[in-house]
Amino acid sequence: MAPTDRFVPRFAAEPPQEGLPYGRWAHRLSDLFYGACAQLDGDGEDLGEPGDIAWYPDRTYGGRTYVPATAPTSTGHELFGYVSFAPAGQDGEPGDFAATADVTAETAERHPEWTIDLTDEAIASWRGEEGKVASIALVWGRPLVAGAAIATAELADLAVDQCVLVEERFTLIAPDDYRGDLLDVKVFDRDGRELARESLYEDDGSEG
């Protein structure tokens, strides 16, 4: 195989290992996520009461497992974030739990032009050639088109991660903003036909 001119980490995160959280495990994660949401400052804006949490597939990278989440609020906002933890050790229990949360008014209901509802957070960085640095992005979302079965993250049309949809949701971990290249997310049907794509960035170059 010939050398590549796109030297970046590809498929560096473990694929999902568990189903979406349920039962006691979901309650434990929910308490952590709602706790992080309770710390948000709306700058005088009424953020409303949080609704039910939608969990997304788990992904493990750099020795931590990330379980993203979103939840609507009673005032039409959306809470988003994730719970992370160290995978189970010798005692069989995960540990070192942490949760982060934020809020947005930019929801899919307010943007009928969206084809994929995306959320992303930088969780690490990766140093590449000549001191250039990529942001390692945790990306989660759901397609807003019918028939999607798998999602990919692509950097300059090079697939760097993929995730089979679980209950119409996906989670990706991939390098972003490297050597001028920005991450795109695409969804495909079971036959490999592309159904939709979205950038993590607005057309004007600002982060979405």
pLDDT the model gives residue 52: 97
Distances in Å between the Cα of 61 and the Cα atoms of 159, 171, 198 are 17, 12, 23
Q: Which domain holds residue 74?
A: 23-198
3-state secondary structure (DSSP) of residue 152: strand
Helices (H), the chain: 23-38
pLDDT the model gives residue 208: 37
Q: Is residue 93 part of a domain?
A: yes
Q: Is residue 13 part of a domain?
A: no
Q: Is residue 203 part of a domain?
A: no
pTM higher than 0.85: yes
Q: Is residue 194 part of a domain?
A: yes
Q: Is residue 191 part of a domain?
A: yes
Number of domains in the chain: 1
> Going residue by residue through the chain (208 aa), what tens digit of pLDDT does each one get?
677 777 899 999 999 999 999 999 999 999 999 999 999 987 778 898 999 999 999 999 999 999 999 999 999 999 999 999 998 876 778 999 999 999 999 999 999 999 999 999 999 999 998 889 999 999 999 999 999 999 999 999 999 999 999 999 999 999 999 999 999 999 999 999 999 999 988 654 334 3
Q: Is residue 2 part of a domain?
A: no
Q: Is residue 9 part of a domain?
A: no
CB burial of 179-207 (b: ≥16 within 10 Å; e: otherwise) equals bebebbbbbbeeeeeebbebebbeeeeee
Q: Is residue 55 part of a domain?
A: yes
pLDDT the model gives residue 203: 56
Which is nearest to 144 in space by CA: 177, 185, 192, 112? 112
